[in-house]
């Protein structure tokens, strides 16, 4: 923890969010790879606070589970009834006691907030020795508390919109809802916040006036980008925030040496990693913990989730979930790599190929129309068109092994469990249910029989019968 790291960060995440019109608690709605409260936790963790506290209320069990998954060391405090932001912070002080040092209070529905902005707030708070420092913004202040100053510009108080006079409502500087407090002074003053206001709630904003009247210094920091402190109250605002955060993410990757061909149709989660000189094509989504290697080309039309792609690989119109794609591999178009698919270097996965829980060796080729499940395919093997790895017997899954440089003929069915040895072949159209030893040719298909004249006898009057009659007449004439 650095000298300017806060003693605690408190995230207020108890609200219901009725305007979301959702069974999901507001702070659990997602954008760019994290829930809203997940974004708040990530920003707070970057400050390195000694303590991290999240206030929950509506949907407390769901929100608590998310907090535990994202930040296991965080303390959860329950606000049984939502009587305002001041009441929420009072619940924290009653639960954990006095916290000497700087206490930052932030919000769980502000996903665009950067850790750098929180850090600047803490630094301003320390530099000025304030009892409280408020992060403010300028612009359209509708719905926000206004920052009231004296004629010399000194910060006096915050007035909520419902309690503001017409002159105060005309003020364009507003409260973001983010504060840095002296923890010792906070624990005392929060007890004196009243409900004497239009909403009959305990406003955290009243702390400014209380602390100033106690003779303590209060201050502000104006956010450089008002968009960072935009709260999310409905799905329209959520969509706008999702677009803004995605644009920010893509700009960061482009400045780091990644080509994004069409930023308007490309979506990349904040948890994704992309190497230099990678190229992301239009209509592509990179989700979760996906990692893209240097020089890889992804898209157009790809969806990758929790997938690793090696350097210089090429993926086109592919869907990959929890898969591993090695260096210089080519995938697609229209391939589906399901969880557990692992493709080694220089292999090729072609059109309409689906892999599940299978390993493909270096340089192996699966060009088209193939399903592979629970299989191991050796280096340099070639899997023909229309091959099916029949891994499921109706009760259990079984493995298939194809050896190095083996050749599986088109339209073969490999009935697991079965092994095709190194350098072995299977004849096209075979149903292979027994092992094929190394170097052997496996044939498992019925012998062909042609019934002479069947079409003319059984389909008389059809176009097929007419064509057959003409062809047979020509054959007879040529043979005479």
CA dist 257 and 275 (Å) reads 8
**How wide is the angle at C-alpha 287 spanned by C-alphas 282 and 289, nearest 5°?**
135
Query: Would you mind telling me the total number of residues written for the chain in this entry?
Result: 480
CA dist 77 and 108 (Å) reads 14
| 3-state helix/strand/coil string of 310-343 | CCCCEECCEEEECCEECCCCEECCCEEECCCCEE
**One of 368, 398, 405, 449 is an active-site residue; which one?**
368
**How wide is the angle at C-alpha 224 spanned by C-alphas 220 and 228, nearest 5°?**
100
- The answer to whether 53 and 8 are in contact (CB under 8 A) is yes
Angle, helices 115-128/36-46, rounded to nearest 10 degrees: 50
C-alpha closest to that of 349 among 245, 339, 357, 328:
328
- The answer to whether 390 and 416 are in contact (CB under 8 A) is yes
- The answer to whether 47 and 101 are in contact (CB under 8 A) is no
**Residue 235 burial (CB count, 10 A):** 14
- The answer to whether 364 and 378 are in contact (CB under 8 A) is yes
**How wide is the angle at C-alpha 421 spanned by C-alphas 418 and 426, nearest 5°?**
75
- What is the DSSP pairing of strand 34-35 with strand 30-31? antiparallel
Structure tokens at 357: 């829980």
Contacts of 215 (CB under 8 A, 6+ apart): none
**Residue 107 burial (CB count, 10 A):** 23
CA dist 160 and 179 (Å) reads 15
Q: Residue 174: how many CA atoms within 13 Å on its side-chain side?
A: 21
Contacts of 405 (CB under 8 A, 6+ apart): 378, 379, 380, 381, 422, 423
| Catalytic-residue membership of 58 | no
The catalytic residues are 368
């Amino acid at each position: 923890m650095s000298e300017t790291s806060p003693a605690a960060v408190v995230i207020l995440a108890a609200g219901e969010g009725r305007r979301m019109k959702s069974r999901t608690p507001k702070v659990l709605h997602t954008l760019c790879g994290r829930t809203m409260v997940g974004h708040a936790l990530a920003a707070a963790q970057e400050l390195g606070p000694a303590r991290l506290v999240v206030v929950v209320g509506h949907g407390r069990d769901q929100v608590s589970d998310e907090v535990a998954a994202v930040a296991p060391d965080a303390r959860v405090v329950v606000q049984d009834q939502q009587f305002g932001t001041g009441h929420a912070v009072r619940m924290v002080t009653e639960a954990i006691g006095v916290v000497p040092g700087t206490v930052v209070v932030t919000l769980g529905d502000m996903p665009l907030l950067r850790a750098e902005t929180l850090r600047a707030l803490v630094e301003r708070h320390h530099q000025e020795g304030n009892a409280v420092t408020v992060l403010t913004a300028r612009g359209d202040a509708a719905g926000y508390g206004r920052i009231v100053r004296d004629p010399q510009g000194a910060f006096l108080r915050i007035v909520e919109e419902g309690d503001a006079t017409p002159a105060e409502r005309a003020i364009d500087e507003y409260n973001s809802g983010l504060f840095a407090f002296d923890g010792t002074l906070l624990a005392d003053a929060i007890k004196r916040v009243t409900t004497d206001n239009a909403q009959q709630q305990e406003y955290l904003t009243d702390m400014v006036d209380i602390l100033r009247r106690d003779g303590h210094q209060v201050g502000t920091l104006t956010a450089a980008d008002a968009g960072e402190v935009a709260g999310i109250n409905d799905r329209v605002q959520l969509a706008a925030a999702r677009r803004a955060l995605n644009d920010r993410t893509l700009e960061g990757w482009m400045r780091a040496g990644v080509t994004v061909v069409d930023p308007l149709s490309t979506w990349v989660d904040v948890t994704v990693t992309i190497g230099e000189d990678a190229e992301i094509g239009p209509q592509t989504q990179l989700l979760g913990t996906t990692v893209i290697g240097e020089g890889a080309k992804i898209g157009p039309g790809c969806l990758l989730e929790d997938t690793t792609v090696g350097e210089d690989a090429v993926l086109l119109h592919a869907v990959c979930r929890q898969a591993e794609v090695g260096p210089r591999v080519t995938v697609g178009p229209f391939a589906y790599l399901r969880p557990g698919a692992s493709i080694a270097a220089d292999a090729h996965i072609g059109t309409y190929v689906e892999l599940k829980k299978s390993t493909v060796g270096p340089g192996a080729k699966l060009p088209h129309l193939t399903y592979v499940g629970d299989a191991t395919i050796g280096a340099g093997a070639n899997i023909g068109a229309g091959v099916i790895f029949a891994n499921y017997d109706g009760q259990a899954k079984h493995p298939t092994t194809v050896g190095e440089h083996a050749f599986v003929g088109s339209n073969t069915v490999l009935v697991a469990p079965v092994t095709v040895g190194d350098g072995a072949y299977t004849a096209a159209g075979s149903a292979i249910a027994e092992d094929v030893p190394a170097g052997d040719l496996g044939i498992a298909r019925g012998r062909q029989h042609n019934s002479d004249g069947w079409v003319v006898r059984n389909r008389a009057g059809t176009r097929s019968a007419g064509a057959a009659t003409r062809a047979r007449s020509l054959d007879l004439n040529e043979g005479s």
